[in-house]
Amino acid sequence: MELLDRYLQAVKKHLPWQRQDDILAELRANLESQLEDQEAEIGRPLTAAEVETWLKQIGPPIMVAARYQPQQYVIGPAIFPTYWYVLKLASFWALAIYGIVSAVLIFSAANPGISAVGAVVRAPFVLMNVAAWVTLTFAAFEFAINHSWIAWPASAVSPEGWSPSSLPPLEKAAASGKKPRTYAMAVAEIIFGFLFLGWLLLVPRHPVLMFGPGALYMQISPFQIEPVWYTFYWWIVGLNVLQLGWRCVDFSLGAWQGPRLVQQAVIKLLGLIPLGILIAAPSHLLIALKHPEADQARFGQTLDTINLGVHKGLMVVCAIKVLQLLWEIGQRSLEAYRRRIAATR
């Protein structure tokens, strides 16, 4: 009986404190009756080993006591889907904002390598922080609902509070790049590609084609662009030639209908190089004075401000482009994974 007493004592520690004496008295009565029955059946008291086996069958004290507890949730099934949705959204935006801020800090740091490593190491903590706050908020919400301090919106739980007409409109049936292209579209793309390339090649000789009347100001202004812009320009020309050539090959092979996912990804990836060239310009010098000796005193400070502003702007654009590319690669990979899973079922 000592073992049964010890067992009941262990159960008591995990019972709800308001009812533990009552529950324990009932459990004791039931278990003692059961023990008596067993002993009557075999005609002798149970040995310590037999009592131990019997108690083991009933289960660990903590598990037995847990059955008397009401079902409890940190976040219950009614609000869990909303919680999960908000958590994903918050994590994504936190990561996106963190990525942009980190990119700016990395490019302006004295040692970008160390700064980049630091940013990567801190990223999981940023995510954990966001997850903790979202979870804490929803747990508090669940607690408030359970204690009837607030009510869960009727539209979220009752069929009457919901209407099919409030559903969002249909999303585009096919994402761009997935829709099969017609022959005419493929031809038009190539023709416009050549026209655009021709226009681009004419710009250095005739800046008015790009800047309009602003080209005149460039001639009379005290500023001029640095040679790094010519490298940038030829990279853009090269990318257009590559894209156009790729399209021509696809066209000649009769593959103009298919999606151009790889092509798009490669062009976007290579498109980061000219941006990087501008960002890496020595001393962030993108615009210079035509006559520094004469104009330095008058326009020197303005020039520094312009160069720094353009440099920061380019870093933000670059960070956005990287995130866009990562997002697209992620989306495409997820889509491919879904298709593969669907194909195996």
Which residue of 1, 6, 33, 258 would you call a contact of other proteins, by CB under 8 A?
33
CA nearest neighbour of 246 among 233, 237, 236, 255:
255
Question: Can you tell me whether residue 224 is helix, strand or coil?
Answer: strand
**Does 13 participate in binding other proteins (rule CB under 8 A)?**
no
CA nearest neighbour of 277 among 238, 241, 243, 306:
238
Site for other proteins in 37-96 (CB under 8 A): 37, 58-59, 63-64, 67-68
**Does 27 participate in binding other proteins (rule CB under 8 A)?**
yes
**Does 6 participate in binding other proteins (rule CB under 8 A)?**
no
Q: How far is the CB of 176 from other proteins (least distance, A)?
A: 40
Q: Which stretch binds other proteins (CB under 8 A): 19-27, 44-52, 127-135, 202-210?
A: 19-27
Q: Closer to other proteins at the Cβ: 40 or 297?
A: 40
CA nearest neighbour of 93 among 247, 264, 323, 254:
323
**Does 325 participate in binding other proteins (rule CB under 8 A)?**
no
- Residue 223: phi, psi to the nearest 5? -100, 155
Q: How far is the CB of 145 from other proteins (least distance, A)?
A: 20
Q: Closer to other proteins at the Cβ: 38 or 135?
A: 38
CA nearest neighbour of 286 among 313, 271, 308, 264:
308
Which residue of 34, 53, 155, 305 would you call a contact of other proteins, by CB under 8 A?
34
Do 177 and 257 contact (CB within 8 A), yes or no?
A: no
**Does 301 participate in binding other proteins (rule CB under 8 A)?**
no
**Does 10 participate in binding other proteins (rule CB under 8 A)?**
no
Q: Closer to other proteins at the Cβ: 25 or 280?
A: 25
Number of residues that bind other proteins (CB under 8 A): 17
CA nearest neighbour of 107 among 272, 314, 305:
314
H-helix segments, the chain = 2-12, 20-42, 48-58, 61-66, 80-108, 112-146, 154-157, 183-202, 208-211, 214-220, 228-252, 261-279, 292-344
**Does 1 participate in binding other proteins (rule CB under 8 A)?**
no
- Which parts of this chain interact with other proteins (CB under 8 A)? 23, 25-27, 29-34, 37, 58-59, 63-64, 67-68
